Structure 1
Amino acid sequence: MNEQNIPIDINTTKLLEWLISRRHVSKDWQNNVLKVREKINNAIQDMPAHEGIINLLSGQHIHYFHCLKIVEILKETEADTKNLFGRYGSQRMKDWQDIISLYQKDSLYLAEVAQMLIRNVSFEIPSLRKQITKLEQSQTECEKKIKDYSKIEAIALKEFNSSCEQLGIAGKNIRMELVGLLKELPKIYEATPEKIKIVLPAIELYSEFNKYLSGKNADLQVLPTLEYLVRHGNTTTYEYTYGEKPVQIEEPISTLSDDEKDSNKIDFGDIDFAENTDNGAEIDFDINTDNGSSIDFGEVTPEEQNIDWGSSGEEGFEIVSHKDVAVNLEESGIVVERTGIDGGLAKGDEALTILDNPKTQEQIINNLMELGAFLKMRLYEMSNDSNMIAMSQMQEAPAILQMQTVESITALNDCINVALDHLTNKRIQHLHNIKHSPKYVDILTATLKQKLSVIEKMKANKVRLEEKIKILREEARNIDPVIKVLIEKTKQLQKEIQGDISRKYQGSQYTGLRLSLMLTSARSASHEGLRLYYQKSVLWF
């Protein structure tokens, strides 16, 4: 191959070292370039209004090749100052010509532009690309978080809707809707006795079994509350306790409120705070009788009213025997009312029905569980090897016990399970707890609202991340044109350096020698550009 066609290949990062080693520039070039930069800063302050100069000075570092272009532009703008000898009288032209002269001394400009080229290729462009990569990674992380937040939101929304569906509420005004559900409770309790009457045969079987084992023929109530419910229905606790209906029912005052603000109020009961102008506010204890009228003790004056305590002797007062006193209560019109079996006022827990009363409801459920345990034990005995022993023990038992089979006991056990499922289903238990436990209402309301707060929080987080993604994309879009401009200017600088160094070797034995610079970048090597000899150490634009 002809030597004149062989280019000199210089790695970009080694360009400045190569220039110093070939003595194209001096080692202390950095000290000299500071003076030139100072002159450039002063010269920029007084520049003509020219579009070409504005483009050269906008957003970039002025170097030697820019100064050459500025001088060419000044030849047009400062043409009026040119004298007969071809020299310019303009101070602007003199300043920029001095700058070019300082640059050309010891090839100072080559060192500066070589350093610019190395900085652009090795630091500026990779740094901007890394910045875009980080922005893209941040976008990916934000998108991943949005998906996670969407999953959490969907789960919380599903749980909230499921809870509301289970409770039978819409979820708009949670506390008010929960308290409003109590209107359904009386209807449910009214229909319950009819639904659990199917356990009556099992109760009778269990009763006969206990009578047979105990040897008592008299009526033996083994499941009193459950049997009463099945036979008499859902009566008041008063009627269940005393055996007759009450004359008057005074239902307990509900402490529940459908307003969250009202739930924090303190109930002082029937205490009447009467205002006293002399001593401030004091409690007025107004004693009321059953018929609502207050007891009037009249006005007692010591001077007008004398109490006769009978005659007193020397040994004290005379004691009057009760035998001497004959009081006919019927003639006097005084009626003594006894509580309980004679009828009376049902108030407090006694005014509640046995299904509504927490104590009696618990007894009913316990009775059903006891009855179910008995039937399961009978099934185990009848289906096991001990069946013969069990049958031998039941030879003298009543017919109702001897006639039972595995199938009949299984059917009775299924009836118990149906009754238990009806009384212990979540909806009825929720309604029961809502009525009898204000704290339960508060906890249930807070639980549902907490799910709503999670949903709102996830929505807010997603909106925030979406805004962040928009900002990151905008930043990446703003950086991309900067990289493109920087690459174009770096390529232009490369050509100018390449041509300048090549001219230095013209006229030597390497006439026609071509300089090839290899630039470090992240672009594919398929780009048409410079030839490379060291592919491992070179990346292309």
Structure 2
Amino acid sequence: MDEQNIPIDINTNKLLDWLISRRHVNKDWQENILKIREKINNAIQDMPAHEGIIKLLSGQHINYFHCLKIVDILKETEADSKNIFGRYGSQRMKDWQDILSLYQKDNVYLAEAAQMVIRNINYEIPGLRKQIAKLNQGQGECEKKIKDYSKTELSAQKEFDATCQQLGIAGKNIKMELLEQLKDLPEMFQRITEKIKIIQPAIESYTEFNKYLLGKSEVALLNALKFLVENGNTTTYEYTYGQKPVQIEEFTPVISEQKVSESDANEIDFGENDDIDFEINTDNSIDFGDVEVNEDQNIDWGNLDASEDDFEMVSHEDVDFNLEESGIVVEKTGIDGGIARGEEALTILDNPKISSQIVNDLVEIHAFLKMRMYEMVNDTNLLAMTQMQDAPTLLQMQTVESVTAMDDCVNVVLDQLMNKKLLYLLNIKHSPRYADTLAESLKQKLSVVERMKANKKLLEEKIKNMRDEVRAIEPVIKVLIEKTKELQKEIENDISKKYKGRPVHLVGGINML
């Protein structure tokens, strides 16, 4: 092969070292480049209005090959300054020709071009691509967070909506709506009272079973539940004393629409105490009124020397207590007075203690019926079957289907008594602070929803900004690759001229990116 056609392959990363080792450039080339860059900055300040020059100077790092193109343009724009000797009188031309001379001395331009190619390939382009990759990764992380926030938002919203639906409120003015729902309690109690009669067969079955098991004619069990089924939702007074009250003072819990501050709650109200005399004697003695006190500080109790015969037993009938004239009113309490007040004025379903006992009674029956079904279905339980031969007819006639039906009735009543709305409203009525706690709980769920929406909005804005940044960087990388390829080609051609036109290839360069 002709030596003229043997290509020269130069690794792009070793290009600068190759140029120095072949003595095409000096090791101290960087010292001269500073002076050239200064002259270029000064020359740029005075340039003619030419489209080609504007394009060359826009957003690029000016190198030797750009200077060659600028001089070619100036030969056209500064043609009027050319003298008969072929020299240009224009200062612009002189400045750029000086720059070219400095570049060409010791091939400084070749070293600078090699450094630009190496920097672009190893740092500039990879750095921008890493930045795009980081931005894309950030978008993915933000999108993942948005999904997580959406799940949290949806969950909180569902919980809020479910609770509001259970309570029958719209969720606008939560505290007021909760207090408004208290008026639904009587209607709910009425429905339960009507529905609870369906468990009468279950009560009779359980009662007969206990009578048979204990061998007694009467057994005391399910007192609260039986009373409710037989008498309805009466007052606690009637449940306690066995008779209806003459008068009912309705129990109205004090529920404020606003929270009570701790300072107000801890304050003791003495009322109007203007008439109270807290006068203290200066001599530290107690004023007993008109009681005579002897000088020896003994109280005169009168003649206490009477004999026992002087005392006669006097019945209360002989004593005339005219209370009406004295203004004293004696109000009887309990069963005699017939006035239901306080907790006694509550209905038994509205009384937490009694309603809790009713629920316990229902659970007790439910457990009994489950056990009966198990015994009746399990054919191997011969002992249980033998024991039930002497049981009352009511128990012997029961089938699995009938027991299952009774259990279903018990479950229906239990579901009504354990209804979440009912439990919420009872807690609100009997615990003034519960309404505030429940309202705050619902508001907290709404605040979570709003916070998640705000976070999503911020992340969406962040994603938009990152996408805009990626779109701005991608053209920069494209232009940088094109300019690097052009510069690489210029270097190859320039080195080829120094080796009598031998083909020169920079390997491992921009094409490897």
- Give the alignment partner of residue 363 of structure 2, picking from 359, 362, 369: 369
Deviation for aligned residue 1:407? 4.8
Which residue is 1:75 aligned to? 75
Query: Is the Cα contact below 8 Å between 1:167 and 1:427 reproduced in 2?
Result: yes
Deviation for aligned residue 1:371? 3.1
Query: Is the Cα contact below 8 Å between 1:245 and 1:343 reproduced in 2?
Result: no
Which residue is 1:483 aligned to? 477
**1:419-446: per-residue Cα shift (whole Å, max 9, x none)?**
3232223332222222222343333333
**Amino acid across the alignment from 2:189:** Y
**Distance (Å, rounded) in 2 between the aligned partners of 1:335 and 1:439:** 37
Query: Structure 1 residues 336, 119: CA separation in 2 closer, same or farther (over 3 Å shift)?
Result: closer
Query: Is the Cα contact below 8 Å between 1:152 and 1:458 reproduced in 2?
Result: yes
Deviation for aligned residue 1:458? 1.7
Q: In the alignment, is residue 242 of structure 1 matched against residue 241 of structure 2?
A: yes
**Amino acid across the alignment from 2:444:** Q
Deviation for aligned residue 1:29? 1.9
**Distance (Å, rounded) in 1 between the aligned partners of 2:358 and 2:197:** 13
**Distance (Å, rounded) in 1 between the aligned partners of 2:117 and 2:221:** 102
Which residue is 2:388 aligned to? 391
**Amino acid across the alignment from 1:15:** L
**Distance (Å, rounded) in 2 between the aligned partners of 1:72 and 1:406:** 109
Deviation for aligned residue 1:406? 5.0
Deviates more, 1:267-276 or 1:106-115: 267-276
Which residue is 2:43 aligned to? 43
**Amino acid across the alignment from 2:512:** L
**Amino acid across the alignment from 1:418:** V
**Amino acid across the alignment from 1:253:** T
Query: Is the Cα contact below 8 Å between 2:174 and 2:439 reproduced in 1?
Result: yes
Which residue is 1:193 aligned to? 193
Please show how residues 264-283 of structure 1 align to structure 2 within 5 Å: 266=264, 273-274=271-272
Query: Structure 1 residues 441, 491: CA separation in 2 closer, same or farther (over 3 Å shift)?
Result: same
Query: Structure 1 residues 47, 476: CA separation in 2 closer, same or farther (over 3 Å shift)?
Result: same
TM-score when scaled to structure 1?
Answer: 0.78
Deviation for aligned residue 1:93? 3.1
**Distance (Å, rounded) in 2 between the aligned partners of 1:22 and 1:474:** 47
TM-score when scaled to structure 2?
Answer: 0.82
**Distance (Å, rounded) in 2 between the aligned partners of 1:481 and 1:137:** 20
Deviates more, 1:457-466 or 1:195-204: 195-204
**1:243-282: per-residue Cα shift (whole Å, max 9, x none)?**
222232222332334x454687956999574386xxxxx9
**Distance (Å, rounded) in 2 between the aligned partners of 1:212 and 1:129:** 89
Which residue is 1:539 aligned to? 512
Deviation for aligned residue 1:235? 0.6
**Distance (Å, rounded) in 2 between the aligned partners of 1:123 and 1:77:** 38
Which residue is 2:87 aligned to? 87
Q: In the alignment, is residue 442 of structure 1 matched against residue 442 of structure 2?
A: no
Deviation for aligned residue 1:135? 1.6
Which residue is 1:464 aligned to? 458
- Give the alignment partner of residue 497 of structure 1, picking from 491, 494, 503: 491
Query: Structure 1 residues 68, 269: CA separation in 2 closer, same or farther (over 3 Å shift)?
Result: closer
Deviation for aligned residue 1:11? 2.9
**1:116-143: per-residue Cα shift (whole Å, max 9, x none)?**
1222222222222222222222222222
**Distance (Å, rounded) in 1 between the aligned partners of 2:397 and 2:478:** 98
**Distance (Å, rounded) in 2 between the aligned partners of 1:418 and 1:324:** 61
Deviation for aligned residue 1:236? 0.5
**Distance (Å, rounded) in 1 between the aligned partners of 2:46 and 2:276:** 95
Deviation for aligned residue 1:25? 1.7
Deviation for aligned residue 1:480? 1.8
**1:427-468: per-residue Cα shift (whole Å, max 9, x none)?**
322222222223433333333223222222221111111111
**Distance (Å, rounded) in 1 between the aligned partners of 2:329 and 2:142:** 83
Using the aligned pairs only, state the percent identity: 64
**Distance (Å, rounded) in 2 between the aligned partners of 1:162 and 1:314:** 80
**Distance (Å, rounded) in 2 between the aligned partners of 1:250 and 1:95:** 110
Q: In the alignment, is residue 429 of structure 1 matched against residue 423 of structure 2?
A: yes
Query: Is the Cα contact below 8 Å between 1:244 and 1:343 reproduced in 2?
Result: no
Deviation for aligned residue 1:185? 1.0
Which residue is 1:108 aligned to? 108
Deviation for aligned residue 1:157? 2.3
| SS of residue in 1 equivalent to 2:134 | helix
Query: Is the Cα contact below 8 Å between 1:273 and 1:283 reproduced in 2?
Result: no
Which residue is 1:226 aligned to? 225
**1:464-510: per-residue Cα shift (whole Å, max 9, x none)?**
1111111111111111222222223223323332332233334xxxx
**Distance (Å, rounded) in 1 between the aligned partners of 2:402 and 2:304:** 87
Query: Structure 1 residues 94, 227: CA separation in 2 closer, same or farther (over 3 Å shift)?
Result: same
**1:496-534: per-residue Cα shift (whole Å, max 9, x none)?**
32332233334xxxxx5333334623xxxxxxxxxxxxx
Deviates more, 1:58-67 or 1:206-215: 206-215
Q: In the alignment, is residue 351 of structure 1 matched against residue 340 of structure 2?
A: no
Which residue is 2:160 aligned to? 160
Which residue is 2:53 aligned to? 53
**Distance (Å, rounded) in 1 between the aligned partners of 2:301 and 2:178:** 71
Please show how residues 102-181 of structure 1 align to structure 2 within 5 Å: 102-181=102-181
Q: Which has the higher contact order (CA 8 A, sep 6+)?
A: 2
**1:372-418: per-residue Cα shift (whole Å, max 9, x none)?**
34444555555521135413554xxx554555555544443443333
**Amino acid across the alignment from 2:113:** V
Q: In the alignment, is residue 30 of structure 1 matched against residue 30 of structure 2?
A: yes
**Distance (Å, rounded) in 2 between the aligned partners of 1:416 and 1:481:** 75
Query: Is the Cα contact below 8 Å between 2:259 and 2:436 reproduced in 1?
Result: no
**Amino acid across the alignment from 2:117:** L
Query: Structure 1 residues 95, 379: CA separation in 2 closer, same or farther (over 3 Å shift)?
Result: closer
Query: Structure 1 residues 118, 268: CA separation in 2 closer, same or farther (over 3 Å shift)?
Result: closer
Deviation for aligned residue 1:350? 0.4
**Amino acid across the alignment from 2:454:** A
Query: Structure 1 residues 256, 8: CA separation in 2 closer, same or farther (over 3 Å shift)?
Result: same
**Distance (Å, rounded) in 1 between the aligned partners of 2:311 and 2:106:** 145
**Distance (Å, rounded) in 1 between the aligned partners of 2:411 and 2:31:** 99
Which residue is 1:289 aligned to? none
**Amino acid across the alignment from 1:256:** I
Which residue is 1:515 aligned to? 504
Query: Is the Cα contact below 8 Å between 2:389 and 2:396 reproduced in 1?
Result: no
Please show how residues 294-309 of structure 1 align to structure 2 within 5 Å: none
